[in-house]
Amino acid sequence: MSMLARFKKPGGFIQLVNLIETCTGAKKEQLLKAVESENPAWAHLLKEKMLTVERIFKWPPEAVAEITTRLPERIVGIALHGLKEEDKGKALFSMTHMKVRAVEEIINGYKPNPGEIQAAFLKIITKARELEKGGELRLDKIDPGSSLQDVKAA
C-alpha cells in the first residue's frame, strides 16, 4: 500500500498538509520526499501550501498580530528568540502594553533551547491554520498560495 493511499479521501490532502507542517527538520524532508516519489503534483502543491513561521512573518503586521495576540506570552517570547529582530514588531503589533512587557521579559530573561523554539513555531503555525479554518484569518486574501480554503477533496 502506498504512503499516500490513506490521504486520498475527502479532506486527506489537508490532513497531509497539517501533518507535514507540524513535523520538524529531517522528518518533514523525509515525508516530502516520500510524497514526491509517489505523486510529484501533490508534492508541488504541498510545498506551495505549507506554512512556515518565516512565511507567516512575511505577512502584514495585522495578520501576524491576529495569531500572536491569541497565543500565550511565553510562546510568543520563545518564538521571537528564533526570529529576526524586525519580526518582533509584527509579533507585538496590537498587543496591550502589559502583554508586550510580559513578552519582552521572556525575551530578555529566558534562554530557550532549540526544541522549545521549534515547539513555539509549531504553535504559531497551528494557530494560523485554526484561525483560517474558523474564518478569522483570511489566507486567501493575505497569502493566497497558502490557503487551504480552495483545496477540494483529494
Summarize pLDDT for 33-79 with one digit per residue, the tens.
999 999 999 999 999 999 999 999 999 999 999 999 999 999 999 99
Which of 41-45, 125-129, 144-148 holds the top average pLDDT?
Answer: 125-129
Specify whether 75 is located in the same domain as 33.
Answer: no
**Segment 16-22 mean pLDDT:** 92
Cell 495576540 sits at which residue?
69
Cβ atoms 103, 80 nearer than 8 A: yes
CA distances from 89 to 24, 100, 116 (A): 26, 10, 21
DSSP 6-34: GG-STTHHHHHHHHHHT--HHHHHHHHHH
d(CA 107, CA 91): 12
Cell 503586521 sits at which residue?
61
Specify whether 85 is located in the same domain as 57.
Answer: yes
Number of domains in the chain: 2
* pLDDT above 50: residue 154: no
Q: Is residue 112 part of a domain?
A: yes
The verdict on pTM exceeding 0.75 is: yes
